[in-house]
Each structure stands twice: as structure tokens, then as C-alpha cells.
Chain A
Amino acid sequence: MTPLAHYLLVAALLFSIGLAGALTRRNAILVLIGIELMLNAANLNLIAFWRYGPHPEALTGMMFAIFSIAVAAAEAAVGLGLVIQIHRHAHTTDLDAMNRMKG
């Protein structure tokens, strides 16, 4: 059995990789990919704490993770719809080029 700290370190590393991706890439879709990685890292944390916690039969961690998966899917759908609409309007998904509020 691996110690809990290893799972938490893997989750922290995945979270920071996702954050780096969200902050450094130009394409709007890659920012969303980074956000999905961050959400997944948080889910891993939740499940790891649920498993090693004192009362796993209360199912709190697992429930939280399942709801988080559902909400992340909804957010990805709306976010990608927005990106598609922006592309239709500005003909680019480059975030550096979309630096003005005026259309």
C-alpha cells in the first residue's frame, strides 16, 4: 500500500501541470484542457482522502468526486460552445489576439 502522501503529491503535480498549461498556451481550447486536468487532480485528492480517511463507509469523498465529474462535464460543454462561437466571430482562437473588449 502506498502512503497517502504519494497520492497527494501526484495530485499536486498534476494540478500544477494543468495550471501551467492553462496559463501558458495561446489556444483557448488548451486552456480548457488545462482546467480539466486541474479538476481531475482535485478528484484524485478527494478519492485518496476518502479511501484513507476514518469513515469510508459514509461515502462522502466518492459522492463529492462523482458530482465533480458531472459538473466538470457540464462546464466543458458550455466552455467549448463559447470557444466555437468566439471562433465564428473573430476567426481565431488565439487568446493573445483577443485582448480588446470591442468586437
Chain B
Amino acid sequence: MSIAFYLIAALTLAGGLAAVLLKNTVHCALALTVAFAGLALLFLELDAQFAGFAQILVYIGAVAILVVFAILLTRGSETPKDGVYSRNWLAGLFIAAAVFAVLGWAVLQSAGGLPQGAVAAPTVTVLQIGNALVSRYVLPLEIVALLLTAAMIGAVIVAMHEKERQK
């Protein structure tokens, strides 16, 4: 029953670890894709089919490809001469461990009061999601549309070649 959850969670965490530890940047991007796929499977395990398929479509189908293209366009596949970790890597690791300690403590403290499982599965149809999007969540929908347009135009302008000023 829950053996699937532990396997998928292990896959996701392994992908995440590989994404931050590997030396070759493209390998990191591919491990990130594995982590995204593991997360999509976790969403499907949680009966959130729409979110799971949207995760695959958007993250694996678009964001992972964006990351990979950026690595290629910035010559990231060549190994740097100073090593891959920054100078203050110990401080960063310490901060991350501290954050995990706080979060983990908060979860374990309240673990008694959280649902232990066997909650009735919600029947979510895409029709309900569509109805919710245009009735209750119409303002976030419009704002996200505006945001995506602005981000698209902005990304094109930021990454455009500057016009030559020699004349």
C-alpha cells in the first residue's frame, strides 16, 4: 500500500540530491527532471491528477528544457577550474541543515494531531476545477495570465542581443 510512497519519495529525494551534488551541470539538470517526475507521481498518489499532469507538462516539458538550453548557451558543460562549490559552502550547508531541523521539529511536534491516513478520497473532476477557475478563482487566473505575458515579454527583452553601438 504505502510501499509505493516510500519508493517514489526515495526517487524524488535521490533526484534532488543528485541535482545539487553532481559536478556536470547537464547531469544536474537531468537529475532535476527525475525529481520533477517523482513529484508528479507523488501528486498522483495524493489523488491530484490534474496537478500531477500539469506538473509533468509544465516542469518536465518546459522548465527542464529551459534550464538545459540556458546551460548550453552559457557553456555550463565545461567544468570550472575553481571547483563547483562556492567559497562559503559550509555556511550554506549549515543554514540548510538548520532550516530542515526547524521544519522537521515542527512536523514531528504536531504529528500526533495530523490525520493518520484513511481520509476519504475526494472526487475531483476537471469540470469542477474549470468551474472553480472561472467563478471563485477568476481574479488569480487573470493576474497569472497578465504575469505570464509580462514574464514572456520580459524574458525576450532581457535576453535579446543589444544593438551594436559602433557607427
Q: Which residues of A contact B (CB under 8 A)?
A: 1-10, 12-27, 29-30, 32-34, 36-37, 40, 43-44, 47-48, 50-52, 56-57, 59, 62-63, 65-67, 69-78, 80-85, 87-88, 93-96
Contacts and interface: CB of A to CB of B under 8 A. Distances in A.
A73 B51 contact: no
A76 B2 CA distance: 33
Nearest to A8: B107
A33 B156 CA distance: 20
Interface string B66-88: 11011101111000101111111
Interface residues of B, number: 87
Contact of B92 (A1, A12, A23): A23
Interface of B: 1-2, 5, 9, 12-13, 16-17, 19-20, 25, 28-29, 32, 35-36, 39, 42-43, 46-48, 50-51, 54-55, 58-59, 62-63, 66-67, 69-71, 73-76, 80, 82-89, 91-93, 95-97, 99-100, 103-104, 107-108, 110-111, 114-119, 122, 124, 128-129, 132-133, 137, 140, 144, 147-148, 151-152, 154-156, 158-159, 161
A69 B13 contact: no
B114 A69 contact: no
Contact of B67 (A18, A33, A78, A96): A33
A51 B74 contact: no
B88 to A, nearest CB: 8
Given A12-B104, A82-B158, A74 B70 contact: no
Q: Is the interface of A mostly helix, strand, loop or mixed?
A: helix
29 contacts: A1-B1, A2-B2, A2-B5, A3-B117, A5-B110, A10-B9, A13-B100, A20-B96, A25-B84, A26-B82, A26-B83, A27-B76, A29-B74, A36-B32, A40-B35, A40-B59, A44-B43, A59-B128, A62-B51, A65-B43, A69-B51, A70-B147, A73-B62, A74-B152, A76-B63, A78-B154, A81-B159, A87-B73, A96-B87
